[in-house]
Amino acid sequence: MINPASRTKPIELSQIRKMFEITNPNAINLGIGEPDFNVPENIKQAMKNSIDDNDTHYTPNKGYIELREAIVDKFKKDNGIETNPDNIIVTVGASEALYMCAQAFIESGDEVILPNPSFLSYEACVKLADGKIIPVDCKMENEFKLKADDVSEKITKNTKAIMLNSPSNPTGAVMEKEDIKAIADLSMDHDFLIISDEIYEKIIYDKKHYSPAKYSDNVITLNGFSKTYAMTGLRIGYLTANEEYTEELLKIHQYNIACASTVSQRGAYEALTGPQDEVTKMVNEFKNRRDLIVKRLNEMGYETVNAEGAFYVFPKIEDKEFVQKAAKAGVITVPGAAFGSNGQNHVRMSYANSYENIEKAMNILEERVVNG
């Protein structure tokens, strides 16, 4: 057997996907971060029309111009970010955008600041680029929020980038405006890059989302359609950055992907320019589910922060066998340690499942794990 590249050896396969692939058809899956809603009908129709119109050829590398123009409008309206179509790249999901950032800007010896805990793909992408991870504690007593003062203490002459994710996967934490702005200021003062993953920006309850690119030029903003429009399998995302950054990012995108799917791009255009009623309904339902799961977990004695965004909770559960016990009982969850050392003694649960299934899952956990 030919030896794999040394940079892949420390990379572990995703604990999330491992739980996703458990074959028990009767298990209630609180492990996967995928909305259980269908793609809105207007978006489906736009994609059907695309196929019927034989819209199946290459697009420009950066994506259809009309979609990029719609993304520009979205950034201005929602995020206060001034950009232009030339500085937009349409990607194969926000995951590709994240990988592009790591490959284009991180190299051996570069330090990359990561919230701890944080989405496991961040660590993998940094390691694949041979970067060095510098974790910053996001503590439960601070509702898992990344604080600018803690980031400041980790900055060195080797700091190349920080990855932000607000709302957060796995904790549901939403960063405060003052911390976003302070980290943006630090990026300018110390000349490092902010890679801002804003894929959950629309799924926020009783808070407001702030983009660091409104306050700093050293930002690459990533987003996509998977979470807001339930378009996970369609693999469509986007990013924006200044002209110099975009040119470097395009090199990775061009030789790896060429362009995102035509059909998905047509759906994405309709998602941005069409009615947003289904998004509002979805977010309201997620809030109801959040309230249910937080209440039930706390009643069981599992201390749980009232997550302000995304569709995850991160209860404190010190039972090392909890995930296995829950799976055996028929409820799939993800061990918190998959998201960093501060995930120890925590479990990630997704409430991207029906209210009825969440209620049933909580009953199972109470009867068969807590009192079993």
What is the model's pLDDT at position 8? Answer: 84
Protein fold of 55-273: Aspartate Aminotransferase; domain 2 (3.40.640)
Which residue, 15, 78, 41, 324, is CA-closest to 223? 78
Residue 217's closest CA among 199, 237, 244?
Answer: 244
Q: Which of 108, 201, 184, 120 is nearest to 146 (CA)?
A: 184
Tokens of 280: 């509002």
Q: Domain extents for the chain? A: 6-39+277-370, 55-273
Which residues, 6 or more positions from 254, have their beta carbon under 8 angstroms from its beta carbon? 61
Query: Could you read off the pLDDT of 256-301 as tens digits, one per residue?
Result: 999 999 999 999 999 999 999 999 999 999 999 999 999 999 999 9
For residue 154, the one-letter residue type is K
Dihedral of alpha carbons 241, 244, 250, 251, sign: negative
Domains 6-39+277-370 and 55-273 equal at CATH topology level: no
Alpha-carbon span 340 to 184, nearest angstrom: 24
| pTM (whole model) above 0.75 | yes
What is the amino acid identity at position 305?
V
- CATH of the structural domain 6-39+277-370, one choice from 2.60.40.420, 3.50.50.60, 3.40.630.30, 3.90.1150.10: 3.90.1150.10
DSSP code for 204: B
Which pLDDT belongs to residue 270? 98
Predicted local distance difference test score (pLDDT) of residue 4: 83
| Cα torsion through 102, 106, 112, 116, rounded to 10 | 30
φ/ψ of 186, rounded to 5, equals -60, -35
Q: How far is CA 126 from CA 60, 106, 122, 163, 189, in A?
A: 28, 7, 6, 10, 23
CA 249 to mean position of chain CA atoms: 19
Length of the chain: 372
- The Cα–Cα gap between 110 and 113 comes to 10
Cα(228)–Cα(241) distance, rounded to whole angstroms?
Answer: 22
Mean pLDDT by 10 residues, the chain (372 residues): 83 67 78 95 98 97 98 98 98 98 97 98 96 97 97 98 98 98 98 98 96 98 98 98 98 97 98 98 98 98 97 97 95 96 97 98 96 82
